[in-house]
Amino acid sequence: MEPLLAGAFANASSLHGMGVDAGRAVQEARVAIAEVLDVRAEELVFTSGGTEADNLAVLGVARHARRPANVVCSAIEHAAVWETCQGLSEEGVELRVLPVDRNGVVSVQDLSRLVDSETVLVSVMQANNELGTLQPVAALGSWLRANAPRARFHVDAVQGILRAPLDIHDAGIDLLSVSAHKLYGPKGVGLLWVRSGVHVRPLLYGGDQQRGLRPGTENVPGIVGLATALRRGAALRGEVNARVERLRDAFETEVLRRLPDTVVNGRAAVRVPGISSLSFPGCTAEVLLHHIGAEGVAAASGSACHARRKEQSHVLQAIGVPSDHGTLRFSLGRSTTEEDIFAAVAALEKAVPAVRRLGRGQP
């Protein structure tokens, strides 16, 4: 990205030499990404990130659909899908919510009860950002293909891509969202893959870039960063996923050994390796975060997008986590070490009893 930020800063749509170079950089990135995702280069629409990609998928398909129309999304979608679908219901498109089980997983059976001939879009994420649970997207997609040909299938793959196997074509997916910063790429860039033949209306107007589907000058360094991150991530995925999963399992085993009343959310489901959602009965998540933060451990309560909201997230509500359970999400990645894991366990072992005492008004 550096040369594109510092020197070759031309507009990729300009016709002069530098512009042509920038345009070539975008095209090369497009081809590289298409190869990793196993799609056609011209089917990729670059966006400002996962949120815009999700909005473009949901609104771009459903907003202009012939009425009556309904959309189906899971009860644990990221806010970029969840709140967008809720907004659609104010525009005359009915929202049907696909429930999840205690582990945060949807079922084909429930989907079959919600979908009808007026369903224009089904949006189910590949992996949940708070729990790490993987959804049976291939089974959902093949059911939809056989039973609901009018319905388009969108998958938010922001958390799942490269962390779990996904064959976009086998799974019958029509639209797929990706964000660079979940792959060690830059923040503020992502993409929506739109299968050829799927009709999407733009959210923005004003230019011919990206076939008018996402007008505006392309973020050339960001797009090149996204391509590099995806390519590198794809090369490393086998080794990284196996190592991170081992660390995650060791982390959870050790927390359960030292704090046996901890609940590991989604434990019985298939999960991406790098997310561990832990509930601690009798603790307030925010207070717990401060305590472990003081020991140098960084975790999250809920999703970063809603980090300032006090109430329990819709995801934790959907899987039935009691409101007096403080829930923290721990993320593990390429650079996480065994020492990090044991430092986090030690911090929790100290913090959890202290926070419980505080909650009971004891010093």
Comparing CB distances to ligand PLP, the nearer of 223 and 351 is 223
Minimum distance from residue 176 beta carbon to ligand PLP (Å): 11
Q: Which residue is nearest to ligand PLP (CB)?
A: 50
Please tell me the count of residues contacting ligand PLP according to CB under 6 A: 14
Minimum distance from residue 156 beta carbon to ligand PLP (Å): 5
Encode 293-324: b = buried (16+ Cβ within 10 Å), e = exposed.
eeeebebbbbbeeeeeeeebbbbbebbebeee
Q: Which residue in this structure is represented by tokens 């990609």? A: 53
d(CA 54, CA 172): 18
| Interacting residue with ligand PLP among 43, 156, 174, 252 (CB under 6 A) | 156
Q: Which residue in this structure is represented by tokens 């739109």? A: 194
CA angle, 12 then 18 then 23, to 5°:
30
273-312 binders of ligand PLP (CB under 6 A):
none
Counting Cα atoms < 13 Å in the Cβ hemisphere of 177 gives: 31
Per CB under 6 A, does 78 bind ligand PLP?
yes
Binding range to ligand PLP, per CB under 6 A, among 30-38, 155-163, 267-275, 307-315: 155-163
338-357 binders of ligand PLP (CB under 6 A):
none
Per CB under 6 A, does 159 bind ligand PLP?
yes
Q: Where are the alpha helices (DSSP H) in the chain?
A: 2-6, 17-37, 50-62, 79-89, 108-114, 137-147, 220-258, 285-294, 314-318, 338-359
* 159 and 332 Cβ atoms separated by less than 8 Å: no
Binding range to ligand PLP, per CB under 6 A, among 13-21, 45-53, 162-170, 220-228: 45-53
Give yes or no for a cis peptide into 165 (omega within 30° of 0). no
Comparing CB distances to ligand PLP, the nearer of 172 and 186 is 186
Minimum distance from residue 251 beta carbon to ligand PLP (Å): 20
Minimum distance from residue 258 beta carbon to ligand PLP (Å): 29
- 283 tagged catalytic: no
Per CB under 6 A, does 50 bind ligand PLP?
yes
Dihedral sign, Cα of residue 318, residue 49, residue 305, residue 248:
positive
Number of H helices, E strands in the chain: 10, 10
Q: How far is CA 258 from the centre of its chain?
A: 31
* 131 and 104 Cβ atoms separated by less than 8 Å: yes
Return the C-alpha torsion angle 199, 84, 132, 274, nearest 10: 80
Minimum distance from residue 123 beta carbon to ligand PLP (Å): 11
51-70 binders of ligand PLP (CB under 6 A):
51, 54
Minimum distance from residue 78 beta carbon to ligand PLP (Å): 4
Comparing CB distances to ligand PLP, the nearer of 51 and 74 is 51
Comparing CB distances to ligand PLP, the nearer of 70 and 179 is 179
Active site residue ranges: 305
- Positions touching ligand PLP (CB under 6 A) are 49-51, 54, 78, 80, 125, 129, 156, 158-159, 179, 181, 190
